Amino acid sequence: MIRKTSTVCWVVAALLAVTAPVAAHHAVAAEFDQDKPIKFTGKIKMIEWMNPHIYTQVEVKEADGKTVVYRVEGGAPNALYRAGWRKDSLKVGEVVTVSGIRAKAANSTNVGQASIATADGKYYYVAPGGNRGAPQQ
């Protein structure tokens, strides 16, 4: 009986360990608003390849001369790598056009479910909950 109880406890613990990370991951709709599309062109300031998502910071000069840095959330680094991305796919200083959706938080510069288009016409899909594709022409 003790052996059976011990086995059941180990199985339950293993199942909890496997499912906890899945439950902890946020839904795109929890952070981003589908009704707040945004599109802008700017220069890549920084690319952060870290788990659980990559982030591309894009510096944009607005009409009033003010500079805004948008933080574009992408997919998981290993998923993007398997899809053909490399750390040098986008380069700091490169001019890109970003299309995505804004974060729900007021005055936030975070952008999700985005695509990044380079000047030479390549598209990088970085949507954390959607397409995670290699560059598209």
Residue 114: is its pLDDT beyond 50? yes
Position 95 scores a pLDDT of 97
Q: What is the mean pLDDT of residues 45-68?
A: 92
State pTM to two decimals: 0.70
Contact between 93 and 101 under an 8 Å Cβ cutoff? The reply is no
What is the number of domains present in the chain? 1
Domain assignment present for 105: yes
Going by pLDDT thresholds of 50, 70 and 90, the confidence category of residue 47 is very high
Binned at pLDDT 50, 70 and 90, residue 39 comes out as very high
pLDDT at residue 126 is higher than 80: no
Residue 111 lies in a domain: yes
Q: What average pLDDT does the structure give for the chain?
A: 77
pLDDT at residue 58, as a whole number: 96
Which two structure tokens, joined as six digits, stand for 97? 């056009």
> Does the residue 90 lie in any domain?
yes
pLDDT tens-digit readout, 73-110: 888 888 888 878 888 899 999 999 999 888 877 677 78
Instruction: With beta carbons less than 8 A apart as the criterion, state whether 89 and 30 touch.
Output: no
Note the pLDDT of residue 91.
Answer: 94
**Residue 52 clears pLDDT 90, i.e. is over it:** no
Largest CA distance in the chain: 75
* pLDDT at residue 9 in the model: 54
Structure tokens belonging to residue 129: 């909950």
Q: Which of 127, 121, 122, 123 minimizes the C-alpha distance to 37?
A: 127
* pLDDT at residue number 42: 96
CATH of the domain at 39: 2.40.50.140
Report yes or no on 131 lying in a domain.
no
Task: Give domain status of residue 134, yes or no.
Answer: no
Residue 43 covered by a domain: yes
The answer as to whether 13 is a domain residue is no
Its domain, for residue 72, covers 28-125
